[in-house]
Each structure stands twice: as C-alpha cells, then as structure tokens.
Amino acid sequence: MATSSNQSLQGGDQEHTLVAALTLFFEEPQAQQAEAKVRELLAAREVISLVSVPVPWNGLAMIEASLAVNHEGLLLLAGPAGAIRLGQQVEDFALALKLGTGALYVDQDDAEVQTGEPIEDPRLDAMPPGRTVAIGALNEPDMGVWAAASKTSWQLLPPESAGAAVAVHEGFLVGGVLAASQHPAIMLSRTGARFTASFWFDKQPAKLGGHPAWVHIWPVAASPAFWPQASTPARRELDLLLANQDSVDGQELDELAGLLVGAENIERLKQALVGTGSLQSAQRVLETFGHPPVLARYLEDADLPEDARRIEPVSMARAVGRALIAESRTSGARPRWYNSLSWKPAAQLALGLIEALVFSLVLAATHWQQPWAPPWVIVLLLVLGFVDATGNTVLGAVRWFRARRRP
C-alpha cells in the first residue's frame, strides 16, 4: 500500500481498518469518461471507497482512489443492509481495476500493479503547467539564484506597503531552495485540482540547505463511489474515509520542533492544512500566517501588475555573482568605503590597477639578500596584495564593460 495506506482509521467497525491508495493514469482526453468508469466499477463491486476528480499532468490524467481494507489487505465491501463483508486482496483488485477501466497505469506503493516495476513515462518526470505563488522576504538577486537553480522564470511583483514580497511562476512546483535571507516564506502551487504548500521558517537548520522545512500536498477533492445505507457499518466506514482525507497528521507536524520550528508555527500548520486542496485551502494558509488571503487569486489566471519585474534563469555563476554584488552594496557588516564592490565599476577598476602598481613596486624594490622584513612576511603580503589587485581589476573591468553595453 502507499504511504497513506499505512494509516489506521481509528474507530472503524473493522479492527485495524486501513486505507489502500491507488493512482490510475489515463490519457487526458479520456479523463471524464475514465472517472465515470472507475466510479461505476467500484460501485458495482460495492467497494467502500473515495474517487478523486482527474488531475491533468502533461497530457495524462491522474485519478486517485482510496479503498477501505482490513489488516490483511482484503477489501471492505458493503453487504446487504449495509453490513460489512470482505472482498479480494487489494493487489488483485488493483489489476482488475486497471483492466476494467482501460487505465494506462495503476500505481500502488510506487510500482505499477501489472509489471511490478516503477512507472517509466517521461510525462511524469516533468512538472506540469500550473501557477505558483511565493510570499516572503523575497528580493530580486536571491530570486535570480532560485531561478537559475530551478531553471524557472518568475515575475516579482512590486512591493505593497508593509507587506511581504510576492513572486509568481507560470508552472507547478513543489519545494525548492531559498536563501536564508528570504525566510520566512510560503510557496503555494496549483495544477488543476492538485494544490501544494511549501514552508520555510526563520532559524530553520542550515542542514536543510535552503529546502523547505515542511511540504504539504493536499489530497485531491474526492467523493464516494457510492453511498451505503445510512446508519450502517458500511456507512460508518465510509464516513471514516471521508474524515481521514480531511485530517492532518498532528504527530508528524510535532516533529518539526526538531527542525527549530516554533510551537506557534506548528499550531498554525495544524489549523491551516486540514481538508482537501482548493483555493479556500490556500486562502486559509495565507490568512493563518498573516498574509492577505486575496493573494491566492494568483493561483488562478489573475492578471499580474504591468510593472512586475521578470526574472529569467541565467547561469548559476552569473546569478550568484549578482546576488553577492547586491548583498555587498547593502551589507552593514563593514563600511561602504572599504567594500570595493559597492564602488562604481570604474573606481573599482582603478583601485585594482593602483594596487597592482603598488605591489609591483614593492616587489621590485625588495632586496632579498637584505629584506626589510622576514621573507615569509613579504611573500604573504605580496600574494594577498596581488590576489586582491587581480580581483578588483577583473571584476571592475567586467562591471565597467557591462555598464557600457547597457542602453
């Protein structure tokens, strides 16, 4: 069973009731007919189950089915008058479901039910179209590094007064790497009915390497394949399935304390991440973490402001260089007069040439038979001096030529 298959539905009529998760893949043009076929087959077998709406994915359509099973992996079926009866093994039923619906693939436990091997389809290896919104302490240089690392383009929206910066990407994303200077941040993403949320927190451990401390993938909105008779054991099992898809694992969220996520933020996550994926779920996350819920509109096809700044992916070296230069200009760690990267390009170039001349004169004037200082001190001074001179000369020249090329 898939990860969610290991969850026990506490309070079920069957001891150790579990959820078996299957994902069926169809060609996208067949999505609506495929959903109807899946529901029809499950209802005909009276399998206590939920079926999601189709989610488009690069020409494919994914439909998720959650089936109630007992601890031996046998299906729970609705018998006469709503009593519970046991069906076949879920593994065997998954293959029958594939053949009966004409699905391209059926995934269970990261393996295709017919071949037993991981599904290999290039369409599943690429992120699909969609919309992504990032909210936080975002700035253009660090967003450039993110764009370079993920090979994605972004639109950085003009900042609103006393509000966090907002960036929008035309595509679906899960996670990513954000510099510590951009924490805390939230990234919401959507493709069809699939919604995700990624969270970066202040003071999260450096061992995360800029990756989010928590990524939440909401369940896709699902409904029963059929409704057993009310107030019966079968109906109670179905109600537990419905409650399970709306719940969040609080114990797993509590473990975020080990990643230095504060108790207040953990409680916020527990409140915000319940339910299935929707625009309302995204709005709830934004409101819970102190951002305007209206920003969720950018997950749809809302028009972006005309003065949004487009950030295209460039080489990583170029992006990091831009970020370092921008950081050096605003750094309060040392005075601007000492920080040559904050100087104008021509001034930095001139400094490098002057340094090279000075240290060349020092080298020429030194009598190594009668040195003016211990030889190792002179060598160290010359090496450091020429390295600094070379850096300022090269960087100053590059910045100067780039400035001249700009219109």
DSSP character for 273? S
Average pLDDT over residues 165-187: 88
Mean pLDDT of the chain: 84
Average pLDDT over residues 1-20: 52
Give whole-number Cα distances, 21 to 51, 109, 288, 402, in Å. Answer: 10, 8, 30, 55
pLDDT the model gives residue 328: 47
SS3 labels along 82-129: HCEEEEEEHHHHHHHHHHHHCCCEEEECCEECCCCCCCCCHHHHCCCC
pLDDT the model gives residue 180: 81
Nearest to 10 by CA among 346, 338, 249, 301: 249
Q: Is the pLDDT of residue 306 over 60?
A: yes
- 200-232 pLDDT tens trace: 998 888 888 888 999 999 999 999 999 999 999
Stronger pLDDT, 96 or 335, i.e. the higher one: 96
> Cα separation of 226 and 49, whole Å?
8
DSSP character for 295? G
Dihedral of the alpha carbons of 399, 403, 406, 407, in degrees to the nearest 10:
180
pLDDT the model gives residue 99: 95
Q: Is the pLDDT of residue 319 over 90?
A: no
- Indicate the pTM of the whole model: 0.72
Residue with the two structure tokens 């991440």: 273
pLDDT the model gives residue 395: 80
pLDDT the model gives residue 380: 85
Coil, strand or helix at 345: helix
pLDDT the model gives residue 29: 92
pLDDT band at 313 (very low <50, low <70, confident <90, very high): low
Phi, psi of 109 (to 5 degrees): 55, 40
pLDDT the model gives residue 327: 47
pLDDT the model gives residue 3: 30
Q: Is the pLDDT of residue 406 over 70?
A: no
pLDDT the model gives residue 247: 85
pLDDT the model gives residue 106: 96
> Cα separation of 47 and 40, whole Å?
11
pLDDT the model gives residue 19: 93
pLDDT the model gives residue 377: 80
Q: Is the pLDDT of residue 329 over 60?
A: no
Q: Among 29-38, 186-195, 299-308, which stretch is predicted with the lowest mean pLDDT? A: 299-308
Average pLDDT over residues 227-244: 93
Stronger pLDDT, 313 or 276, i.e. the higher one: 276
- 337-355 pLDDT tens trace: 345 555 667 777 888 888 8
pLDDT the model gives residue 158: 80
pLDDT the model gives residue 331: 47
DSSP character for 161? T
pLDDT the model gives residue 289: 94
Coil, strand or helix at 358: helix
Q: Is the pLDDT of residue 292 over 80?
A: yes
- 27-52 pLDDT tens trace: 999 999 999 999 999 999 999 999 99
Average pLDDT over residues 274-278: 92
Stronger pLDDT, 92 or 398, i.e. the higher one: 92
**Cβ distance 211 to 274 under 8 Å?**
no
- 57-73 pLDDT tens trace: 999 999 999 999 999 99
Phi, psi of 277 (to 5 degrees): -70, 135
Stronger pLDDT, 286 or 183, i.e. the higher one: 286
